[in-house]
Structure 1
Amino acid sequence: MGLDYIRANTGKPWRKRWNGGLDRLKAPTLLDLTMTEAARTVTAELNAGARVKAGDKLIVQGAADGLTVSDGLRAIGRIANPSTELTTAVHNGGGYAEGVLQRVGLFGDTAELSVK
């Protein structure tokens, strides 16, 4: 029923109908995903008593034992083991980078930062 039915009810063979189909699949469409800027999301350990919420803009700066996260002049946390890519990006930015707080952990001791 399957293949015989399709061949009997279509005007031309399936192989000819698919001619150029691979090229159409490779062509860009309206829903193609393009990334404009590299997104780096890291987990920071927050200091006790840090009052932060999602959407806060924070400063990420280089330190001897990793990276420090601060809210203005007040240090609120640190990134203990940053990737070499993130460390290089912070170093190339003059030692500082902007981070946006995405989510605070359940117990308030960790936070996810998106670093630009």
Structure 2
Amino acid sequence: MLLEELPALAGRFDLVINTANQPLDWSAVMGSLAPRGRLHQLGAVLQPIQVGAFDLISFRRSITGSPTSSPGSLRKMMEFCVRHAIKPQVEHLPFDQVNQAIERLHRGDVRYRFVLDQTDGLMDG
């Protein structure tokens, strides 16, 4: 999902888990939460998360965060993802395109996550 799509999803989500480690349009993210919804922050954003008090108070929304989880919690999360067919959105690139991948990261031209795939003969003997 793109941030531009959030206004059309106002009040839709009970929980948003954010793994991005960069500042976002926090007002749009909070606006996508249902009443009593929660933003759970996993990405280490270095800047403060700027949220207006009205975004929290008016619909009893909250923000929580955690650095990592226990192995048991991770297992439960993975089982939940399997049951509900939740999959990551990842772009695979051949390892020999690492320089282009870095350039795209600097330009902010990465929609989801990059995975550099080194199965294209680099490991052959």
More strand by share: 1
Instruction: Return the structure number with greater relative CO, CA threshold 8 A, min gap 6.
Output: 1
* Same fold per superposition (TM over 0.5): no
Counting helix residues as a fraction of each chain, which structure ranks higher? 2
TM-score, normalised via structure 1 length: 0.19
Work out which of the two has the higher radius of gyration on C-alpha atoms and give 1 or 2: 1
Q: State TM-score, norm by structure 2.
A: 0.18
